[in-house]
Amino acid sequence: MMTPPWNPADPRASLLATWEFLHDHARQVFLEDGTHVEILFLLAEDGTMQPVPIAEPMSRENVSARLREQLPGSAVYGLIHIAEAWAYLPQGPDDHTRKQLEWGEMRVSSLRDEDKKELLLVSLLSRDGDSMVWIDEIVREEQGQVRFGRRAKLSNVEFPLGRLF
């Protein structure tokens, strides 16, 4: 896996290019394996990258708490997180289920299987305030094959591990 060249004079553009590259790579891995390990990449302003797989007994909460302790004063410029997730895709602005989820009256895990979607998420967070995510809908076929459905690239979204910078 060859990441794009890093330009220390423009870490923001380099981080975005790396995020795009890792999104494409994550899609390829998912199509080949039918799954993707949850992983966090920590990137310094000079382009040094440290991958951190998130697996048992680690949890997102543990990783998030550790990062909040370690990131202040560190050389970490940006984070890229790859994970699978379940989500509810709203049916419109007045969708009652969406409102119940937003208000905390229910959780996605309590929805019927046909009401939730499986997603591949590739999220980015930077010290400069960038917070973006690639969302790819996962479609599992009856024959065991996987493919991607809808895709979206969103800006100004909450990073899955919380506010870390």
In the numeric block, the tokens 């899609």 are attached to: 27
Q: 118 burial class (0-12, 13-18, 19+ CB within 10 angstroms)?
A: middle
Task: Tell me: pLDDT of 7 over 90.
Answer: yes
Question: Sign of the C-alpha dihedral, residues 14, 17, 19, 21?
Answer: negative
Reported pTM: 0.87
The pLDDT, as a whole number, for residue 88 is 78
Task: Tell me the average pLDDT of the chain.
Answer: 90
**pLDDT-based confidence at 87, cuts 50/70/90?**
confident
> Mean pLDDT, to the nearest integer, of 135-146?
90
Q: What is d(CA 6, CA 19) in angstroms, rounded to the nearest whole number?
A: 12
* Domain ranges for the chain: 11-155
Q: β-pairing, 117-126 with 49-53?
A: unpaired
Res. 45 pLDDT band, cuts 50 70 90: very high
How far is residue 45's CA from residue 31's CA, in Å, rounded to a whole number? 31
